[in-house]
């Protein structure tokens, strides 16, 4: 039977993993006949089906004031407790209004009961679900115990209560098996493994005229070898390995292109990478100002491209991350049928690699053998084609919408009526 489903998070906007995966879940659920609605502090969803509460955004001034006083210390003043309580009560009231306005049958908190970027919102959702017994599927992307910044806290009581809560009307979904094990060990909670997905059932769109001049626009020649690093510039992405690899190739035709900027994590790491590239003699191009969520022209009249415009131009995609909750960029590379070099981060080793994907891999450093493997693969178009077709077929089998649809149906059937 068709249901009205409410997605809840601090933000549904942009290209962060939570926003992207929530949209995929909503698409699959909508295709099954359900109607989806959105509650968040920031939103780029259709206003007609959205309930935007600015105070629910993790960057809201009141939440920022609270966050500055509850991390890195073990004691909180009474006034902090009072302000947490006040904001949580307000947000709980807005959840009642959201559910009432759209007659929601099922709630899907997206990471809001997982990582405590907004403690009052987590408490509000938990109390709302305890009071109403509304069925819920809590989709967990990254738990607080996976982040060092949350290890010392003045709100352990709230973390124990709401991140995540243990309630009979909630089913828990995690994106990797390590998180599944940790959730059972730390909270005694069972969960369903629901990896991030991609619509492999529909092949990627063919390049069109808009994206055809991307190489020329960023100053690359037709015979240059474009090594795409499709991530933000943050230390856990291990981008120094990409630079080291290209430096060891000793071929000026290889150009490293990084699609995104550092964001809110500062520019120290980016400056380090620029220095390393200069020392290694690597042509490194950070093109974040030319990459946008949609095609548009910037203030200077330059064309901005989406990642979908850029992927077809890549000759090799590098993904040397030290840690990932899953690895959306890896799935994107498989989707666009590109050869991949990957650092064997733990989730890849445990969940993805056993499926049989063919990639060039490293283990924390770039050996000479890997350099030779890259040279050989880049010179053999038939080997590249066999590799990417194999990976696409495997990804469609294990990480497509068909599998997600079956899992969501099972989760919904398991909920109390």
In the chain, where the domains are located: 4-197+401-414, 210-397
The predicted-structure confidence for 338-352, as pLDDT tens digits, reads as follows 999 999 999 999 999
> 353 burial class (0-12, 13-18, 19+ CB within 10 angstroms)?
middle
DSSP three-state, residue 305: strand
Rounded to a whole number of angstroms, the distance between the first and last alpha carbons of the chain is 12
Q: What is the pLDDT of residue 16?
A: 83
CATH code assigned to 4-197+401-414? 3.40.50.2000
**Would you say residue 325 has pLDDT above 90?**
no
Instruction: Give residue 145's pLDDT band: very low, low, confident or very high (50, 70, 90).
Output: very high
Query: Among 95-109, 171-185, 204-218, whose mean pLDDT is lowest?
Result: 204-218
**Would you say residue 265 has pLDDT above 70?**
no
Contact 144, 161 (CB under 8 A): no
Contact partners, residue 243, CB within 8 Å, separation at least 6: 256, 273, 276, 277, 280, 282, 284
DSSP assignment letter at 223: T
* pTM of the predicted model as reported, rounded to 2 decimal places: 0.90
> 337 burial class (0-12, 13-18, 19+ CB within 10 angstroms)?
middle
Token pair belonging to 413 = 């059937």
DSSP three-state, residue 292: coil
Q: What is the pLDDT of residue 181?
A: 97
Tell me the C-alpha distance between 5 and 169, whole Å.
15
By C-alpha distance, which of 282, 274, 280, 218 is closest to 252?
A: 282
The predicted-structure confidence for 208-234, as pLDDT tens digits, reads as follows 999 999 999 999 999 999 999 999 999
**Would you say residue 176 has pLDDT above 80?**
yes
Tell me the C-alpha distance between 194 and 336, whole Å.
22
Q: What is the pLDDT of residue 15?
A: 76
4-197+401-414 and 210-397 in the same fold: yes
Tell me the C-alpha distance between 68 and 100, whole Å.
33
Q: What is the pLDDT of residue 264?
A: 61
Contact 287, 257 (CB under 8 A): yes
For residue 195, is the peptide bond before it cis, meaning its omega torsion is within 30 degrees of 0?
no
The predicted-structure confidence for 271-299, as pLDDT tens digits, reads as follows 999 999 999 999 999 999 999 988 999 88
Token pair belonging to 204 = 């990627």
Token look-up 């080291």 returns 244
For residue 6, is the peptide bond before it cis, meaning its omega torsion is within 30 degrees of 0?
no
The whole-number average pLDDT for the span 167-185 is: 97
**Would you say residue 206 has pLDDT above 90?**
no
Domain 210-397 CATH assignment equals 3.40.50.2000:
yes
């Amino acid at each position: 039977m068709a249901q009205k489903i409410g997605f809840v998070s601090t933000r549904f906007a942009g290209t962060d993993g939570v926003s992207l995966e929530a949209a995929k879940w909503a698409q699959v659920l909508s295709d099954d006949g359900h109607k989806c609605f959105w509650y968040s502090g920031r939103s780029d969803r259709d206003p007609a089906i959205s309930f935007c509460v600015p105070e629910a955004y993790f960057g809201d001034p009141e939440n920022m004031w609270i966050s500055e006083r509850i991390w890195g210390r073990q004691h909180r003043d009474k006034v902090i407790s009072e302000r947490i309580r006040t904001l949580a009560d307000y947000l709980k009231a807005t959840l009642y209004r959201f559910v009432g306005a759209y007659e929601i049958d099922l709630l899907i908190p997206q990471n809001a009961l997982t990582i405590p970027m907004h403690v009052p919102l987590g408490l509000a959702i938990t109390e709302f679900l305890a009071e109403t017994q509304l069925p819920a599927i809590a989709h967990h992307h990254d738990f607080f115990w996976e982040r060092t910044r949350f290890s010392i806290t003045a709100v352990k009581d709230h973390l124990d209560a709401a991140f995540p809560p243990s309630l009979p009307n909630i089913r828990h979904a995690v994106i990797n098996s390590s998180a599944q094990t940790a959730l059972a060990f730390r909270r005694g909670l069972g969960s369903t493994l629901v990896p991030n997905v991609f619509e492999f059932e529909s092949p990627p769109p063919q390049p069109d005229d808009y994206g055809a001049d991307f190489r020329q626009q960023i100053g690359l020649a037709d015979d240059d070898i474009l090594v795409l690093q499709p991530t933000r510039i943050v230390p856990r992405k291990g981008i120094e390995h990409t630079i080291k690899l290209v430096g060891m190739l000793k071929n000026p035709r290889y150009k490293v292109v990084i699609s995104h900027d550092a964001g809110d994590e500062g520019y120290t790491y980016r400056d380090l990478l620029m220095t390393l590239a200069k020392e290694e003699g690597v042509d490194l191009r950070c093109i974040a100002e030319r990459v946008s969520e949609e095609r548009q022209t910037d203030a200077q009249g330059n064309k901005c491209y989406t990642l979908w415009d850029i992927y077809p131009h890549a000759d090799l995609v590098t993904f040397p991350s030290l840690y990932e909750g899953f690895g959306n960029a890896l799935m994107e590379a498989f989707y666009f049928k590109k050869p991949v070099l990957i650092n064997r981060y733990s989730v890849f080793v445990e969940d993805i690699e056993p499926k049989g994907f063919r990639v060039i891999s490293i283990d924390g450093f770039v050996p000479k053998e890997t350099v030779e493997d890259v040279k050989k693969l880049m010179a053999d178009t038939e080997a590249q084609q066999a590799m990417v077709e194999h990976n696409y077929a495997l990804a469609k089998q294990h990480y497509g919408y068909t599998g997600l649809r079956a899992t969501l149906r099972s989760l919904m059937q398991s909920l109390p009526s």
